[in-house]
């Protein structure tokens, strides 16, 4: 996506948001556009990326199908921009990130394709390897001062964790502390049930 295409996408998003009366998001995208117009696409991408994730984020906006399409386009721009512009991820960090991201995407594709023939242990091993590669990419990026790359790596690490939780929802309860909390909850529930019976 060329910078002029990104500019047009942002302008169209601003127009849709203005029609909906969403002044906060209009200001948000105008500030991102200001970075792009100043010749700093990485800052523009970082600004837009800061709006994704969490409650009340861009992910939660339900305005129109066209807005969703534009959001997907701008999301793709932010990922590519941080990887390619100014060499934000370079050398070993980029290689590790690419390997981890590719392995994660292959796992997601397998998970979405056919759950009846899934080899869960193999898939979990691949996801753990993707997690390890992304951890190494983060270490390399921090070691070389590639701070622009850290949000992208963190987002991918989060995506891997979510995929692991999707595949093994009880995996969070494998730690000792989590088991203790679960046991306390079950004990409380059991006592409450016993009290109701008596």
- pLDDT tens by residue, 147-163: 777 788 888 888 888 88
**Which pLDDT score, from 0 to 100, does residue 176 have?**
57
Over its C-alpha atoms, the chain yields an Rg (Å, rounded) of 21
**Which pLDDT score, from 0 to 100, does residue 85 have?**
45
> Among residues 66, 87, 108, which one ends one of the domains?
87
Which residues touch 168 (CB under 8 Å, ≥6 apart)? 120, 124
**Which pLDDT score, from 0 to 100, does residue 162 have?**
83
Question: Which letter, b or e, does each residue of 170-189 get, where b requires 16 or more Cβ atoms within 10 Å of its Cβ?
Answer: eeeeeeeeeeeeeeeeeeee
How many domains does the chain contain in total?
3
Mean pLDDT of the chain: 78
Q: Decide if pLDDT at 141 tops 50.
A: yes
Q: Decide if pLDDT at 114 tops 70.
A: no
> Among residues 29, 63, 87, which one ends one of the domains?
87
Instruction: Tell me: do 120 and 44 sit in the same domain.
Output: no
Instruction: Tell me: do 64 and 102 sit in the same domain.
Output: no
Instruction: Tell me: do 50 and 65 sit in the same domain.
Output: yes
pLDDT-derived band at 75 (thresholds 50, 70, 90) equals confident
Tell me which residue range forms the domain holding 29. Answer: 3-87
Instruction: Tell me: do 41 and 74 sit in the same domain.
Output: yes
Instruction: Tell me: do 147 and 187 sit in the same domain.
Output: no
**Which pLDDT score, from 0 to 100, does residue 198 have?**
67
Question: What is the rounded average pLDDT of the residues 139-150?
Answer: 78
pLDDT digit string (tens) for 10-65? 899 899 889 888 888 899 999 988 988 887 777 788 788 878 766 777 767 777 87
Which residues touch 157 (CB under 8 Å, ≥6 apart)? 131, 134, 135, 138
Q: Decide if pLDDT at 83 tops 80.
A: no
Instruction: Tell me: do 28 and 71 sit in the same domain.
Output: yes
> Among residues 20, 53, 87, which one ends one of the domains?
87
């Amino acid at each position: 996506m060329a910078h002029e295409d990104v500019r047009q996408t942002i302008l169209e998003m601003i127009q849709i948001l203005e029609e909906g009366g969403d002044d906060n998001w209009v200001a948000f995208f105008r500030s991102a556009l200001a970075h792009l117009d100043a010749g700093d696409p990485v800052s523009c991408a970082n600004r837009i990326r800061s709006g994704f994730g969490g409650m009340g984020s861009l992910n939660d906006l339900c305005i129109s199908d066209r807005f969703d399409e534009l959001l997907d386009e701008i999301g793709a721009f932010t990922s590519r921009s941080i990887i390619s512009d100014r060499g934000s991820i370079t050398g070993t960090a980029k290689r590790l990130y690419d390997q981890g991201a590719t392995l994660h995407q292959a796992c997601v594709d397998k998970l979405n394709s056919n759950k009846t023939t899934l080899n869960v242990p193999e898939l979990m091993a691949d996801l753990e390897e993707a997690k390890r590669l992304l951890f190494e990419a983060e270490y390399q990026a921090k070691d070389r001062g590639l701070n622009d790359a850290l949000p992208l790596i963190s987002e991918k690490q989060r995506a891997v964790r979510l995929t692991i939780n999707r595949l093994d929802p009880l995996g969070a309860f494998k730690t000792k502390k989590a088991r203790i909390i679960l046991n306390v909850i079950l004990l409380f529930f059991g006592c409450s049930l016993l009290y109701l019976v008596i």
